[in-house]
Amino acid sequence: MKQIAAIILAAGSSRRFGKSNKLLAKLVDRPVLDHVLSAVGTLPLCDIKAVLSEQSDEICDLCNKHGIGWIVNSQAHLGMGASISAGATAIDGVADGLMITLGDMPFIKEETHHALLTAFSNAPTGSIIAPTIDGARGHPVIFSACYLPDLKNLNGDRGALKIINANSRLAIDVPVDDPGILQDIDHPGDLE
Protein backbone atom coordinates (compact mmCIF):
# COMPACT_ATOMS: atom_id res chain seq x y z
CA MET A 1 0.00 0.00 0.00
CA LYS A 2 1.27 3.47 -0.85
CA GLN A 3 1.81 5.97 1.94
CA ILE A 4 -1.02 8.50 1.98
CA ALA A 5 -1.29 11.58 4.18
CA ALA A 6 -4.40 13.71 4.65
CA ILE A 7 -5.35 17.27 5.34
CA ILE A 8 -8.74 18.21 6.74
CA LEU A 9 -9.78 21.72 5.72
CA ALA A 10 -11.38 23.33 8.77
CA ALA A 11 -10.50 27.00 8.26
CA GLY A 12 -13.67 28.28 6.57
CA SER A 13 -15.52 31.29 7.92
CA SER A 14 -19.00 29.65 8.06
CA ARG A 15 -20.53 32.82 6.53
CA ARG A 16 -23.62 31.04 5.21
CA PHE A 17 -24.21 29.18 8.47
CA GLY A 18 -24.83 32.23 10.62
CA LYS A 19 -23.00 33.53 13.67
CA SER A 20 -21.82 30.20 15.05
CA ASN A 21 -19.04 27.94 13.75
CA LYS A 22 -20.69 25.20 11.67
CA LEU A 23 -17.88 22.78 12.52
CA LEU A 24 -18.93 22.91 16.17
CA ALA A 25 -22.67 22.65 15.44
CA LYS A 26 -24.23 19.45 16.80
CA LEU A 27 -24.96 16.70 14.31
CA VAL A 28 -26.83 13.99 16.18
CA ASP A 29 -24.92 14.10 19.47
CA ARG A 30 -21.55 15.63 18.61
CA PRO A 31 -19.95 18.40 16.55
CA VAL A 32 -19.84 18.18 12.74
CA LEU A 33 -16.04 18.23 12.75
CA ASP A 34 -15.91 15.41 15.30
CA HIS A 35 -17.62 13.12 12.75
CA VAL A 36 -15.03 14.00 10.10
CA LEU A 37 -12.05 13.65 12.45
CA SER A 38 -13.36 10.30 13.66
CA ALA A 39 -13.78 8.96 10.12
CA VAL A 40 -10.41 10.16 8.83
CA GLY A 41 -8.59 9.34 12.07
CA THR A 42 -9.35 5.62 11.71
CA LEU A 43 -7.89 5.35 8.19
CA PRO A 44 -4.46 3.81 7.52
CA LEU A 45 -2.76 7.14 6.79
CA CYS A 46 0.85 8.10 7.49
CA ASP A 47 0.00 11.63 8.65
CA ILE A 48 -3.12 13.75 9.19
CA LYS A 49 -3.30 17.48 9.77
CA ALA A 50 -6.34 19.70 10.26
CA VAL A 51 -5.95 23.19 8.81
CA LEU A 52 -7.56 25.80 11.08
CA SER A 53 -8.10 29.54 10.70
CA GLU A 54 -7.38 30.19 14.36
CA GLN A 55 -6.43 28.28 17.44
CA SER A 56 -9.88 27.44 18.79
CA ASP A 57 -9.65 25.50 22.05
CA GLU A 58 -12.75 23.45 21.17
CA ILE A 59 -11.46 22.47 17.72
CA CYS A 60 -7.94 21.77 18.99
CA ASP A 61 -9.43 19.57 21.73
CA LEU A 62 -11.35 17.61 19.07
CA CYS A 63 -8.16 17.14 17.03
CA ASN A 64 -6.26 16.00 20.11
CA LYS A 65 -9.07 13.57 21.02
CA HIS A 66 -8.54 11.81 17.67
CA GLY A 67 -4.74 12.07 17.67
CA ILE A 68 -4.80 14.44 14.70
CA GLY A 69 -2.29 17.25 14.40
CA TRP A 70 -3.35 20.73 13.43
CA ILE A 71 -1.87 23.87 11.96
CA VAL A 72 -3.16 27.43 11.91
CA ASN A 73 -3.37 29.05 8.49
CA SER A 74 -2.96 32.79 9.04
CA GLN A 75 -3.99 33.32 5.40
CA ALA A 76 -7.31 31.45 5.68
CA HIS A 77 -9.22 34.62 4.77
CA LEU A 78 -7.79 34.23 1.25
CA GLY A 79 -9.91 31.11 0.68
CA MET A 80 -9.73 27.35 0.35
CA GLY A 81 -6.68 27.47 -1.92
CA ALA A 82 -4.64 29.12 0.83
CA SER A 83 -5.69 26.40 3.29
CA ILE A 84 -4.75 23.64 0.85
CA SER A 85 -1.39 25.36 0.37
CA ALA A 86 -0.77 25.52 4.12
CA GLY A 87 -1.77 21.88 4.57
CA ALA A 88 0.32 20.64 1.65
CA THR A 89 3.31 22.53 3.03
CA ALA A 90 2.84 20.92 6.46
CA ILE A 91 2.68 17.41 4.93
CA ASP A 92 5.33 17.87 2.24
CA GLY A 93 7.77 15.02 1.80
CA VAL A 94 6.18 12.35 3.96
CA ALA A 95 3.82 10.57 1.57
CA ASP A 96 3.19 9.19 -1.91
CA GLY A 97 -0.15 10.98 -1.99
CA LEU A 98 -2.22 13.60 -0.24
CA MET A 99 -5.92 13.20 0.50
CA ILE A 100 -7.79 16.47 0.82
CA THR A 101 -11.05 16.31 2.72
CA LEU A 102 -13.39 18.98 4.03
CA GLY A 103 -14.22 19.49 7.68
CA ASP A 104 -17.87 20.20 6.85
CA MET A 105 -18.55 16.90 5.05
CA PRO A 106 -19.51 14.46 7.82
CA PHE A 107 -21.65 12.08 5.74
CA ILE A 108 -18.92 10.32 3.70
CA LYS A 109 -19.11 6.56 4.21
CA GLU A 110 -16.22 4.50 5.55
CA GLU A 111 -16.40 2.27 2.46
CA THR A 112 -15.85 5.32 0.25
CA HIS A 113 -12.66 6.29 2.07
CA HIS A 114 -11.32 2.74 1.76
CA ALA A 115 -12.29 2.52 -1.92
CA LEU A 116 -10.33 5.71 -2.63
CA LEU A 117 -7.25 4.54 -0.70
CA THR A 118 -7.29 1.22 -2.55
CA ALA A 119 -7.77 2.92 -5.93
CA PHE A 120 -4.84 5.24 -5.23
CA SER A 121 -2.59 2.38 -4.15
CA ASN A 122 -3.36 0.56 -7.42
CA ALA A 123 -3.16 3.64 -9.66
CA PRO A 124 -0.20 4.71 -11.79
CA THR A 125 2.16 7.35 -10.44
CA GLY A 126 0.80 10.84 -11.07
CA SER A 127 -2.84 9.90 -10.65
CA ILE A 128 -5.56 11.96 -9.04
CA ILE A 129 -8.33 9.89 -7.43
CA ALA A 130 -11.83 11.25 -6.83
CA PRO A 131 -15.18 9.65 -5.94
CA THR A 132 -18.18 10.08 -8.21
CA ILE A 133 -21.88 9.43 -7.87
CA ASP A 134 -24.18 9.60 -10.88
CA GLY A 135 -21.36 11.27 -12.81
CA ALA A 136 -20.80 14.05 -10.27
CA ARG A 137 -17.33 14.29 -8.76
CA GLY A 138 -17.11 14.81 -5.00
CA HIS A 139 -14.75 14.68 -2.03
CA PRO A 140 -12.30 13.65 -0.76
CA VAL A 141 -9.70 13.75 -3.52
CA ILE A 142 -6.27 12.09 -3.40
CA PHE A 143 -3.41 13.73 -5.30
CA SER A 144 -0.13 12.03 -6.11
CA ALA A 145 2.85 13.66 -4.41
CA CYS A 146 4.04 15.06 -7.74
CA TYR A 147 1.26 17.68 -7.39
CA LEU A 148 2.53 18.99 -4.04
CA PRO A 149 4.31 21.99 -5.65
CA ASP A 150 1.06 22.96 -7.42
CA LEU A 151 -0.99 22.42 -4.25
CA LYS A 152 1.45 24.55 -2.23
CA ASN A 153 1.02 27.40 -4.74
CA LEU A 154 -2.78 27.56 -4.55
CA ASN A 155 -4.66 30.59 -3.27
CA GLY A 156 -8.12 32.05 -3.60
CA ASP A 157 -11.38 30.20 -3.10
CA ARG A 158 -11.31 27.74 -6.00
CA GLY A 159 -9.45 24.96 -4.30
CA ALA A 160 -7.60 22.36 -6.37
CA LEU A 161 -10.11 22.04 -9.22
CA LYS A 162 -7.77 23.78 -11.66
CA ILE A 163 -5.10 21.14 -10.94
CA ILE A 164 -7.60 18.35 -11.63
CA ASN A 165 -8.77 20.03 -14.83
CA ALA A 166 -5.21 20.63 -16.06
CA ASN A 167 -4.39 16.94 -15.48
CA SER A 168 -7.73 15.40 -16.45
CA ARG A 169 -6.09 12.55 -18.37
CA LEU A 170 -4.56 11.39 -15.06
CA ALA A 171 -7.74 11.81 -13.04
CA ILE A 172 -9.38 8.52 -12.10
CA ASP A 173 -13.00 8.60 -11.03
CA VAL A 174 -14.09 5.98 -8.51
CA PRO A 175 -17.87 5.41 -8.69
CA VAL A 176 -19.39 5.04 -5.22
CA ASP A 177 -22.88 4.64 -3.82
CA ASP A 178 -22.43 7.51 -1.41
CA PRO A 179 -24.33 10.81 -1.67
CA GLY A 180 -22.17 12.00 1.25
CA ILE A 181 -19.37 12.83 -1.20
CA LEU A 182 -21.47 15.82 -2.34
CA GLN A 183 -23.13 16.84 0.93
CA ASP A 184 -21.54 19.55 3.00
CA ILE A 185 -22.92 21.62 5.84
CA ASP A 186 -23.49 25.22 4.73
CA HIS A 187 -26.74 26.17 6.48
CA PRO A 188 -28.29 25.08 9.80
CA GLY A 189 -30.96 23.18 7.85
CA ASP A 190 -28.26 20.92 6.37
CA LEU A 191 -27.93 19.29 9.79
CA GLU A 192 -31.37 17.75 9.32
The angle subtended at Cα 32 by Cα 28 and Cα 35, nearest 5°, is 85
- Provide CB contacts within 8 A for 166, sequence distance 6+: none
Task: Choose the weakest-confidence range: 16-20, 30-34, 111-115.
Answer: 16-20
Residues 55-114: pLDDT tens digits?
Answer: 788 899 999 999 999 999 988 888 899 999 999 999 867 799 999 999 999 999 999 999
Residues 152-176: pLDDT tens digits?
Answer: 999 877 789 999 999 999 999 999 9
Spell out the domains of the chain, with CATH numbers in brackets: 4-191 (3.90.550.10)
CA 37, 43, 48, 51 torsion-angle sign: negative
pTM passes above 0.85:
yes
